[in-house]
A and B are shown apart, each in its own frame.
Chain A
Amino acid sequence: MNTYDRRQLVSRVMLGLCVVCVVVVIAPLLLIIGYLIYQGISSINPALFTQMPKPVGETGGGMANAIAGSLLLLGLASCFGVVVGVMTGIYLAEFGDNRFGFFVRFFSETLNSTPSIVIGIFAYTIIVVPTRHFSALAGAFALGVIMVPIIARTTEDMIRLVPTSLREASLALGVNKWRTIFRVVLRTASPGILTGIMLALARAAGETAPLLFTAFGSRFWTLSVNEPISSLPVQIYTYAISPYEDWHRQAWAGALVLIGIVVLMGLAARFLAAKSSLVRGARRR
């Protein structure tokens, strides 16, 4: 076998290994989605989205309150998580090359790997205990805390990727540092930051543990931030551990809806990022 043939062979083997690894990575996701669709699609019907849960023993009903509750919780959590996360990321990227920045980065990473149930206890301690009742606010706060380190990290990374030449171009035009950061650097980094926000939202959307003793859950329709509120993950959890066949069926459908929401948010973010950025137009040439 000559050198050329040997190189060709090695090349093919390595490419084959890469393909195998790719399959290993995407197979679980496809299996999960496939199994969810298989189990849940038959229970996806208008009632799921429009009706309230029926009392135990009655079949039918839906998860309207849980879907609305999840969306409300995520919206509130974003108000907190996106603002704090993005601002922290800006600080770390632009001013964080010092000891304090090092500590912020370290704490943020630690927070990111803190079990979510611990964050739930934290929200319980500082919101539920003083107010003496479970509330959407407490749940949203817990989810927001989970989002902050993810968003801070991606924001910092994305801002650091913006070339110095763009900052200098802006500064040299007589634009001050804050405007340069917010209107040039942040805007250039925004598709990446948006991806980070979507990742954080997706993570928060699926969290169950921190909601158990903050938002708690509810069988009624409410959009009040001061009352316990239902959410998809908690509803799925409650239904899945119940002994009723009909509830199991709804739990599968709920899980499918949850994944659908996450995928839709991801697609929407990509679409918005592509639309707001002219970079793509430039690449096409």
Chain B
Amino acid sequence: MKNRVEVHDLSAWFDEQQVLFDINVAIEDKCVTAIIGPSGCGKSTFIRCVNRMHETVPGARMSGRVLLDQDDIYAPVVDPVAIRKRIGMVFQRPNPFPTMSIFDNVAAGLKLNGFRRNAELQEIVQRSLEQAALWDQVKDRLGEAGASLSGGQQQRLCIARALAVEPEILLMDEPCSALDPAATQRVEDLLVELQNDYAIVIVTHNMQQAARVSKYTGFFLNGSLIEFDDTSRIFTIPRDKRTEDYITGRFG
């Protein structure tokens, strides 16, 4: 299996505070990679460096290289906007656009960038909602407000919105932390489906979730990547004492 993303010596700061220290990792295509670790360990900052969202925060900066298909996405000629089209992101809290209908939410990435071909939009919206396992529930009320859906539906709407721009890689920042178990289950089922087409990186607080859905797992602690391996190895025979302490619930 080939690597879609390679991260070399990635460090990141908020103002003077360093939050990531020399991260080296590779993300494989067509599988789920989970990032686990206690709160404040830099998991979110790490994935936000991968689609250049980190730099949108005032005072944030980074060093190191992030390669997408061997091209450095931090090269001076690269437009971060183009990178974000190729690397989609789903956030911790469902954040549908409150002024837009369900349809417009899904179509937002295309419409906001001036895409106007209506028939095609219809198809893309339907396909994305189907991929996000939401189509059957909303197909009769696409004109209603996106915010009128339940929390779990909103998160799947956000996943559909991310899929509609046809990214190559999907980053998910604790996508289930605001959802109940039933909604979490649906999103996890979705991940199993989506990994056939995408490289997926999911940040999670929930170790069982990492164990259930991912092929690889990375363990972050205090801004460093402590261990990265097959998920089955991390959860059965971790090499590092700190990983073992974390997954057995001794801290965090």
A positions within 8 Å CB-CB of B: 97, 163, 165-176, 179-180, 183-184, 187-188, 190, 276-279, 281-282, 285
Query: Interface residues of B, CB < 8 Å — how many?
Result: 34
Give the residues from 81 to 140 in chain B that come closer than 8 angstroms, CB to CB, to chain A: 81-86, 88-89, 91, 93, 95-101, 108-109, 112-113
Query: In the bound complex, do residue B84 and residue A168 qualify as a contact, i.e. CB atoms below 8 Å apart?
Result: no
Query: In the bound complex, do residue B84 and residue A174 qualify as a contact, i.e. CB atoms below 8 Å apart?
Result: yes
Query: In the bound complex, do residue B56 and residue A166 qualify as a contact, i.e. CB atoms below 8 Å apart?
Result: no
A-B contact count (CB 8 A): 92
Q: B92: nearest residue on chain A (CB-CB)?
A: A165
Chain A residues near B101 (CB-CB < 8 A): 278
B20 at the binding interface (Cβ < 8 Å): no
Compute how far the CA of A163 lies from the CA of B98 in the bound complex, rounded to whole angstroms: 11
Compute how far the CA of A47 lies from the CA of B108 in the bound complex, rounded to whole angstroms: 52
Chain A residues near B98 (CB-CB < 8 A): 166, 188, 277-279, 282
B positions within 8 Å CB-CB of A: 51, 53, 56, 58, 81-86, 88-89, 91, 93, 95-101, 108-109, 112-113, 144-148, 158, 161-162, 165
User: Most chain-A CB neighbours within 10 Å: which of B93, B95, B96, B148?
Assistant: B95
Query: In the bound complex, do residue A173 and residue B165 qualify as a contact, i.e. CB atoms below 8 Å apart?
Result: yes
Chain B residues near A180 (CB-CB < 8 A): 112
Chain B residues near A172 (CB-CB < 8 A): 51, 53, 84, 88-89, 91, 162
Query: In the bound complex, do residue A163 and residue B95 qualify as a contact, i.e. CB atoms below 8 Å apart?
Result: yes
Instruction: Return 23 A-B CB contacts under 8 Å, by A number.
Output: A165-B91, A165-B95, A166-B97, A166-B98, A167-B56, A170-B97, A171-B53, A172-B84, A173-B84, A173-B109, A173-B165, A174-B113, A179-B113, A188-B98, A278-B100, A278-B101, A278-B144, A278-B145, A278-B146, A279-B147, A282-B98, A282-B145, A282-B148
Q: Which of A163, A174, A282 contacts B109 (CB 8 A)?
A: A174
Q: A284: nearest residue on chain B (CB-CB)?
A: B148
Chain B residues near A176 (CB-CB < 8 A): 81
Chain B residues near A175 (CB-CB < 8 A): 81, 108-109, 112-113
Q: What is the minimal beta-carbon distance from B233 to any residue of chain A, in angstroms?
A: 32
Chain A residues near B51 (CB-CB < 8 A): 172
Chain B residues near A165 (CB-CB < 8 A): 91, 93, 95
Query: In the bound complex, do residue A282 and residue B147 qualify as a contact, i.e. CB atoms below 8 Å apart?
Result: yes
Query: In the bound complex, do residue A278 and residue B99 qualify as a contact, i.e. CB atoms below 8 Å apart?
Result: yes
Q: Which of B56, B96, B165 contacts A171 (CB 8 A)?
A: B56
Q: A283: nearest residue on chain B (CB-CB)?
A: B147
Asked, given contacts A97-B58, A188-B99, A277-B99, whether A168 binds B158 with beta carbons under 8 Å apart, the answer is no
Query: In the bound complex, do residue A173 and residue B91 qualify as a contact, i.e. CB atoms below 8 Å apart?
Result: no
Compute how far the CA of A15 lies from the CA of B53 in the bound complex, rounded to whole angstroms: 49
Query: In the bound complex, do residue B97 and residue A281 qualify as a contact, i.e. CB atoms below 8 Å apart?
Result: no
User: Most chain-B CB neighbours within 10 Å: which of A163, A171, A278?
Assistant: A278
Compute how far the CA of A190 lies from the CA of B99 in the bound complex, rounded to whole angstroms: 10
Query: In the bound complex, do residue B144 and residue A281 qualify as a contact, i.e. CB atoms below 8 Å apart?
Result: yes
Query: In the bound complex, do residue A170 and residue B162 qualify as a contact, i.e. CB atoms below 8 Å apart?
Result: no
Sorted from nearest, which 4 A-B pairs have the closest CB atoms? A174-B85, A173-B109, A282-B147, A278-B145
Q: B104: nearest residue on chain A (CB-CB)?
A: A278
Asked, given contacts A166-B95, A174-B85, A279-B98, whether A184 binds B112 with beta carbons under 8 Å apart, the answer is yes
Compute how far the CA of A167 lies from the CA of B58 in the bound complex, rounded to whole angstroms: 14
Chain B residues near A163 (CB-CB < 8 A): 95
Q: Which of B82, B93, B112 contacts A173 (CB 8 A)?
A: B112
User: Most chain-B CB neighbours within 10 Å: which of A174, A176, A188, A281?
Assistant: A174
Q: A173: nearest residue on chain B (CB-CB)?
A: B109
What would 14 more interface pairs be, CB under 8 Å, given A169-B91, A172-B53, A173-B165? A166-B97, A168-B91, A168-B95, A170-B112, A173-B84, A173-B88, A174-B82, A174-B84, A174-B165, A175-B113, A188-B99, A190-B99, A278-B145, A281-B148
Query: In the bound complex, do residue A169 and residue B165 qualify as a contact, i.e. CB atoms below 8 Å apart?
Result: no
Chain A residues near B112 (CB-CB < 8 A): 170, 173, 175, 179-180, 183-184
Compute how far the CA of A176 lies from the CA of B88 in the bound complex, rounded to whole angstroms: 14
Chain B residues near A187 (CB-CB < 8 A): 99
Chain B residues near A278 (CB-CB < 8 A): 98-101, 144-147
Asked, given contacts A170-B108, A179-B113, A281-B145, whether A184 binds B97 with beta carbons under 8 Å apart, the answer is yes
